[in-house]
Amino acid sequence: MKINIGVKIKFIYLFFIIFIFVVGALTFTFSTRGKVEEETKTKTVAVSKVNRTDLSQTITLSAELVPFTEATLYAKVPGYLKEIRVDIGDQVKSGEILAILDVPELVNTLAKNKAALDQAKLDLTRIAGVSKKRPELVAQETVDKITEAYKIAQATYEHSKTMHNYSVITAPFDGVITQRFVDEGAMIQEGTTTNTQAIPIVHVADNNKFRLVFPVPESIVSLVKPGDQVDINILSIDKSFIGSIARIASRVSTDTRTMETQVDVYNNASLNLAPGMYASAKLYLKEKKDVLALPVPAVEIIPEPNVWLINKDNEIEKRSVTLGLQTPDMVEILSGLQEGDLVIYGNRNTLALGMSVKPKIIEVFKEIKEN
């Protein structure tokens, strides 16, 4: 069978074109792969060096300043407010008169009982004199009755005197008047029973010493004890200082699942603290000194703790590690690495095990310490 020469030439021409295209494609592919491999071999990656450092596991809690000593003062006897000598913001001394009640009934009762006491004393003096000079004229029973009457009169007078003294309201300790509830002329009810609608007179607080109160979550109650350091920051005035836990409730509230904890804070001119100010309290739960550590982004936790190590040939290899104390920024390395080892820092998506890389150390330790 004869084949047309023109058709044969067309097939040869078509084969030649396909051959040129395939050769060109293969040449481009291998050229590109070579460039990629070349770039991969020299890829610069961020690494972190395994160093020794001090680690602290901390927690920051919201806190509030409350007066170390405070009291809301009520009247113990009813009466009209005759005089009030203080207002909010006034500094007062222990025993200083704050207010005086007008209680005519107590004044009359006191005068009456004083007269009765004077009469009982006179009767006792007379009977004692007669009994001493002419004992046969006075029965011992009469002397005993008059003596007992004098004691009763004396006790009655002292009681009425005490009740009258309650009409004068005094400061129980050095402090400042933070609230004033009534004005002169107001009718004041006694505040000695729980079912009364009595209105207080003033509220006094000691602003020289405060309790910094904050709730400790149940999960860390076992790690908190008196004497532990607390870093305090008063938010409204941006003042920071160091204190220590003074007392703990030693009981977890069933409502909030927290334990009340207190730090004693002393006021001074530079702080100018006031009751009710909010603060932050930073507690140190666990501390370790001079341990091997890495930044958190350098360690993969799932499915098991591991790092990508840069070996002596500048190639990436996977290394399992054992972790210890963890903080928000750093994690302790118990085993698997040595001081000075370099590990990949951050995202691994563009990398592969066995890849040759050029490590660039990130100074993470310095940044964390500065912060």
What pLDDT score does 31 carry? 54
pLDDT of residue 230: 96
Which pLDDT score, from 0 to 100, does residue 179 have? 95
- 142 and 112 in contact (C-beta within 8 Å)? no
> What's the burial of 153, exposed, middle or buried (CB within 10 Å: 0-12/13-18/19+)?
buried
Domain 60-68+207-287 shares a fold with domain 74-204: no
Name the residue among 48, 56, 4, 42 with its Cα closest to residue 328.
56
Q: What is the dihedral of CA 169, 175, 177, 181, to 10 degrees?
A: -40
Is CATH 3.40.50.300 what the domain over 74-204 is classified as, yes or no? no
Question: Mind listing the pLDDT tens digit of every residue in the chain (371 residues)?
Answer: 444 565 556 556 666 677 676 656 655 555 555 444 544 456 899 999 999 999 988 899 999 999 999 999 999 999 999 999 999 999 999 999 999 999 988 888 889 989 988 998 898 888 877 777 777 777 788 878 888 988 998 999 999 998 899 999 999 999 999 999 999 999 988 887 665 678 999 999 998 999 999 999 999 999 999 999 999 999 899 999 999 999 999 999 999 999 999 999 999 877 889 899 999 999 999 888 999 999 999 999 888 999 999 999 999 999 999 999 988 889 999 999 999 999 999 888 888 999 999 999 987 655 555 55
- Cα distances from 366 to residues 47, 50, 57, 219, in angstroms, run 14, 13, 18, 31
In eight-state DSSP terms, residue 198 is P
What CATH architecture is 43-54+289-370? Beta Barrel (2.40)
Rg (CA), the chain: 44
Pick the CATH number of 60-68+207-287 from 3.30.300.30, 2.40.30.170, 3.30.450.70, 3.40.190.10: 2.40.30.170
| Pick from 257, 214, 208: nearest CA to 233 | 214
Residue carrying structure tokens 């806190």: 63
Rounded Cα distance, 238 and 230, in Å: 16
Q: What is the pLDDT of residue 106?
A: 87
Distance CA 31, CA 25 (A): 10
Cis peptide before 172, with omega less than 30 degrees from 0?
A: no
Our measurement of the distance from residue 25's CA atom to the centroid of its chain's CA atoms, rounded to an integer in Å, reads: 70
**What type of residue is 305?**
P
The Cα–Cα gap between 45 and 43 comes to 6
Q: The tokens 């002397």 sit on which residue?
A: 143
Task: Give the domain ranges of the chain.
Answer: 43-54+289-370, 60-68+207-287, 74-204
